[in-house]
Amino acid sequence: MPLATPRFWYQRRRSWQAWLLYPLGWLYGCAVTLHRCSTLRWRCSVPVLSIGNLTLGGTGKTPLGIALAKGLEERGWRVAVLLRGYGARRRSSCQVSATSPCAEVGDEALEYAQSLGAGVAWVGSNRCQSAALAVAAGATVILLDDGLQHWRLGRDLDLSLLDSQHGLGNRLVFPAGPLREPLDQLARADGLVFTGAEPFEALPPIPLGWPSHKPRFAVRFCLLPPPQLQHQRLVAFCGIGLPEKFFSALRACGFQLVATESFPDHHVYAESDLECLLDLADANSAHLVTTVKDGQRLPHRYRHVVSLVPLQVESTSLAPLLNWLDQRLGALSDVRFYG
């Protein structure tokens, strides 16, 4: 069931709620570690790159994954993106097209397919099977979406994403905090990517637990709102990990938000939700806007009354990360070919 992000996760001082839930977080962290250590890994015949979060959502993983897939394709790689498919009903692996039902493949897979074209994204609970099918279809590199806590499919490179503003929060494990694993597992990744909407004049400070010799990158996101919204009053809503990031980014673009509504991450919108939102918009003589990912979960009969605001990666900020990945993946591919 989708959950809203608790405010106390990102408070500087650990709240009483965090301390109350601390024992549950410790148990959850132990269970995750035990599961990781006891899982046998399957190795793919092509390099596997994983992108994921040590924290629960809100880092811009999907737009970064789309940008990385496009960038690697431009450098000659044939990329296949593997997803579990949040809330998807499928168990067996399948390729995703732009017209695939959201209930069958999940909102993130649809966003990949609509951005990259049919045949790039694969959805299925068995990602080893997805990888084998993708390689048979011609993939030369696998991009494992949300793969930092997936153990069955072996990876060659792990990227850990971290929101530059919210960071690691109170540094406690779920449900006491936003961490999916104990903090010492941050060092398991090969590269750390800071994400955010603000310009990066310099890399953010090295977070506690990250080895200083491992590379760090900073990637900037920017909204691409439709021009016709510039002079309209807006009611913004979304169901993402950190909804305030979307609202703040709209305000930074100069848009007038007269009201905002937050829903749990991956919330599937009912018609009653849209009726309430439309009533709120009508009361404020405003227009409804949301994210592209949320747009996949809207009831079809209401999609024409909601404007979607795309989020994309600034190409200049992505270049250092892409160059590093291209070199590392090339070396890995050579080892497989000649080894």
Query: Comparing 38-220+315-338 with 225-309, is the CATH topology the same?
Result: yes
Q: Which residues pair with 290 in a beta bridge?
A: 308
- Tens digits of per-residue pLDDT, 170-223? 999 999 999 999 999 999 999 999 998 877 777 888 887 899 899 999 999 999
> Can you give the pLDDT at residue 112?
95
- Tens digits of per-residue pLDDT, 248-284? 999 988 999 999 999 999 899 999 999 999 999 999 9
| Domain 225-309 = CATH 3.40.50 | yes
Instruction: Enter the pTM of the model.
Output: 0.92
When pLDDT is cut at 50, 70 and 90, the band that residue 3 belongs to is low
> Can you give the pLDDT at residue 214?
95
- Tens digits of per-residue pLDDT, 84-117? 887 666 678 999 999 998 888 989 999 999 999 9
Q: Are 222 and 197 in contact (CB under 8 A)?
A: yes
Paired tokens of 93: 């692996």
> Can you give the pLDDT at residue 206?
82
Helices marked H in the chain — which ranges?
16-38, 61-74, 102-105, 107-116, 127-136, 243-252, 271-283, 292-295, 315-338
> Can you give the pLDDT at residue 339?
55
- Tens digits of per-residue pLDDT, 310-337? 999 999 999 999 999 999 999 987 766 5
Helix (H, G, I), strand (E, B) or coil at 9: helix
Averaged pLDDT, 140-147:
96
**Mean of per-residue pLDDT scores for the chain:** 92
CATH number assigned to the domain covering 38-220+315-338: 3.40.50
Omega of the bond leading into 243 within 30 degrees of 0 (cis): no
Averaged pLDDT, 144-151:
93
Q: Are 258 and 233 in contact (CB under 8 A)?
A: yes
> Can you give the pLDDT at residue 205?
83
Sketch the domain layout of the chain as residue ranges.
38-220+315-338, 225-309
Helix (H, G, I), strand (E, B) or coil at 108: helix
